[in-house]
Structure 1
Amino acid sequence: ARKALVDKVEQVARLIRSKGVGVYFITQNPADVPKNILGQLGNRVQHALRAFTAKDQKALRQASETYRPNPRFETEAAIREVGVGEAVTSMLEKKGNPGIVERTLIRPPSSWLGPITGAERAALMAASPVAGKYERVFDRHSAFEMLREKAERAAEEAARAEEEMQRRDEEEARRIEEEKWQKEEDKRREKERRDAEREYDRARRYDLTPRRSTTTRRTASREPDSLGEALGKAVLKELGGTTGKRIVREILGGFFKSR
């Protein structure tokens, strides 16, 4: 593999292990795993590795050098010699230190072909090393549920913020519309007021002349009569009475007799 890819794999493995997460490499040949990572692996199980070529012998030597040596046997020879059901293993100790390499017999898994009865199942479960640990249902609050609730809260907050923003936009649009309507209403009222003032001024201008003439006549009637006007009124008044009528009759009678 290219060096850039090997460096990237090594970097990712170091980062993951630093977070307390286990990394498992499964391969036929330890040379497939970078040497720096191979030396940092905690639990290792190495089956038989045959080395017939110089390249295979070199890979076998490199794999044996990544184990913590055991003074009872040679690691390189043990990797070559392990048989069926046997492996070279190295496990972490209690304090997290890698243990010395050991030749270990692998116990084959137990199996049963065919159905079992309820009593047999109960007996197997009772004899299990984890008996009593998983019978009670316990719904722990998982990380998935936490993340889902967080996403739901974020979605609800975003929806509320969107609704609030929409409400504010509607209020702002309503306020602008009301201000526009109020301005138009004020303009209309101002126009009506000016029109009314013009009509009022026009009406006053047309009504002033007759009123002045009436006032003049009334003033003239209130003025004292002159001497001629007073004499004429007295004569007309006498002629309109009994004496006046008699005088007129005598004048007219004498006029007709003479003819």
Structure 2
Amino acid sequence: MFYENKIWMANDGDEKLCMFPGMLNRHGLIAGATGTGKTITLKVLAESLSDAGVPVFLADVKGDLAGMCEPGENTEDMQKRIASFGLDREGFSFRPYPVQFWDLEGKNGLPLHTTVSEMGPLLLSRLLRLSDLQSDILQILFRIADEQNLLLIDTKDLRAMIQYVADNNAEFSAQYGNMTKQSLNAILRAVVSLESQGGENFFAEPAIDIHDWFRRDSDGRGVINILDARSSIQNPVLYSTFMLYLMSELFEQLPERGDADKPEIVFFFDEAHLLFDHASPLLEEKIGQVVKLIRSRGVGICFITQNPGDLPDEVLSQLGNRIQHALRAYTPAEKKKIRAAARSFRENPAFDTETVLSELGTGEAVISFLDEKGIPSVAQRAKILPPQSKMGTISESARKYQVSSSDLAEKYGDSFDRDSAYEFLQRKNAILAQAAAEERAQQEASKEAEKQAVKDARDREKENAKKTKRYQSAAGSIAKTAAGTVGRELGNAVGSTVGGKFGKKIGGNVGASLFRGIIGTLFGGR
């Protein structure tokens, strides 16, 4: 509850325990076992920030934060709680809060998209669960795309880029280092797997403009941006990577502003342990750096998890405001975690923090807030205030109305697919294919022309041979005819002269004629 320019979170007896808004960019932690009251604490803090004019972004992994858009119900139990805190004397009232619903899939809120290029190779490698070698190759893919002005917007752009590098592997490997086809194929398979898990909807345009989170209603209250994560939490890597991306976007896009009387926005990271599961050392280092430096951009981060030990020490040391709900210990390892959680608080001589942490009931917590000078208070056992909005979820019709009536519905309602790497490479491949086809056609035409020339030459040779043969045959006939004629004349002459005389001797005229014929045939071919 926003009270006297402070955030009244809990009571320790009659003492009001409040946060100073100016200390919220020193970050915070809400921890505790399941069912101990973390969600109520988150709602009270988010409502108070909204009343203070500070926008909020949070993830709803169970669907029970949606009720913030409707007023709370004045039940008998709530009346008792209000009276026990003295809230009835301090202007407490049930009321709705300005809420904007978002959803990675666009089903239960406005679509929350980003592009492959904006995600970057480091976070994308985590999302694709690549090895160190494959991550290095993905870095090279991004560099090639950047140098060739290829936009990587959605997953089909990324697939086209991988295929392009694979097709020209020899050229790129010579310039950037060896990129084996096995590694490229492994990255491609990871992209296809991501698409089957909703990645096609995740990487799209319009990409989120984080400045749309910095809105206030007509009363000056900060808008509570709620990411419906009931579906995306089923893919923990996708959920946590996208939340980290959003946190990084805040860090990279917001200018330096130093300390102020209140933050520009507070970012709640529910199920925060997922952020560090399977995170590489490089990624952990980046997260620690963002958490450390983002406060200068006026951004507060609140991690919500079951046990503080879920977070790396480097991150945990940056969380100045702490609300620790009950922890349960049934094993030596769990007792050790309680001991570690207790030691993260300044000791209060009035009680043993370690013992109290295992005794807390639902709605109770051990609390330590930063004072105006940034010094953490001693541990205090307290009861968390009730929220002013509805506890629990809302009807689907109410949710749809909230989404459709949003002034951002027109901006984010319809996705589009602009010209990017996939389309460019498709055109390039088409041009190359056409050029290759034309070259093949020219080569085929040249081959056909050569074949035809050879055939024509052979045909000419054959025709010439035929002409020569006909000429020789004709010449032979002429010669034979001439020789026969001359022979006959010569034979007749010789036969008449010799044969006639000789024939007459042996047979008169008949003998002479016969002998003339024989001589004529021998000499004349007759």
> For the superposition of Structure 1 and Structure 2, which TM-score range results when normalised by the shorter chain?
0.3 to 0.5
Task: Indicate the structure with greater helix content.
Answer: 1
Instruction: Choose 1 or 2 for highest CA Rg.
Output: 1
Task: Indicate the structure with greater strand content.
Answer: 2
